[in-house]
Amino acid sequence: MLTGKIALVTGAGRGIGKAIAMDLAANHAFVIVNYNGSKDAAEQTVSEIKAAGGDAAAYQCNVSDFDSCGNMIGELIKEYKHIDILVNNAGITRDELLMRMKEEDFDAVIGTNLKGAFNTIRHMSRYFLKQRAGKIINISSVSGILGNAGQANYSASKAGVIGLTKAVARELAGRGINVNAVAPGFVETEMTDVLSDGVKEDLLKQIPLGRVGHTQDIAKAVTFLASPAADYITGQVLSVDGGMAI
């Protein structure tokens, strides 16, 4: 149970982030549903959380912008007094084979997926250090563990998230702050909707448990890492991928 805890989940209006927000709220955390462009979706997530008996608020911020992240976290701390859980979920893809990948597509993916996580952690850690407590959970990917053809930018960003998680876990452990990553496999969301049926079939063949992941599969792992049950776990990467990365 996360009663009395406040969680900030980035990119929580839809997809995996929405499921994470809903699950944290179902476990009694107050959830700040961050979004960038999808205002209606974020407000819908807040409504669904409230309809289920939880509590939440939506907040717009582009996580790839360092100063915007500082403003968001400063304003949230002013309003809510504390934040206890940070989930870096916001992410994008710009898939292309290396020889055709544009520089801006590399930069955009690194900027959101890796620098976005750095931006929120950098600003939030100030408060977590003062509190001498905090849980940070970064969403990586099987693509950052195994590498994936056509995703040099994405795989690099998600491998970077793992390095960031481990380095920051070492730096903040002395102050009671846990930093972990969750690495989903192939999960049905708008991000993977764009894949062709052929690619989806190939991916399915690579999953030992024989089914695609659901957003709730990822959310359950995040809630566990955010809970006191995971107080002695830090610097870890929890693969939630049906065995893809074995």
Q: Which residues are catalytic?
A: 154
State the amino acid at position 34 in one-letter form.
Answer: N
What Å distances lie between residue 114 and 36, 66, 158, 168, CA to CA?
Answer: 16, 12, 7, 13
Residue 64 near ligand NAP by CB under 6 A = yes
By CB neighbour count within 10 A (0-12 exposed, 13-18 middle, 19+ buried), where does 70 fall? middle
- Residues facing 35 on adjacent strands: 60
| Selected binder of ligand NAP within 21, 92, 179, 225 (CB under 6 A) | 92
State the amino acid at position 69 in one-letter form.
Answer: C
Q: By CB under 6 A, what part of segment 22-61 binds ligand NAP?
A: 34-38
Residue 120 near ligand NAP by CB under 6 A = no
Spatial CA neighbour of 57 closest among 9, 2, 103, 107? 9
Q: DSSP character for 14?
A: S
| Selected binder of ligand NAP within 26, 77, 108, 191 (CB under 6 A) | 191
Spatial CA neighbour of 19 closest among 238, 228, 219? 219
Farthest CA pair distance, the chain: 50
Residue 165 near ligand NAP by CB under 6 A = no
Pick between residue 10 and residue 180 the one whose CB is nearest to ligand NAP. 10
Residue 184 near ligand NAP by CB under 6 A = yes
Binding-residue total with ligand NAP (CB under 6 A): 30
Pick between residue 44 and residue 131 the one whose CB is nearest to ligand NAP. 44
Contacts to ligand NAP by CB under 6 A: 10-11, 13-17, 34-38, 62-64, 89-92, 112, 116, 139, 141, 184, 186-187, 189-192
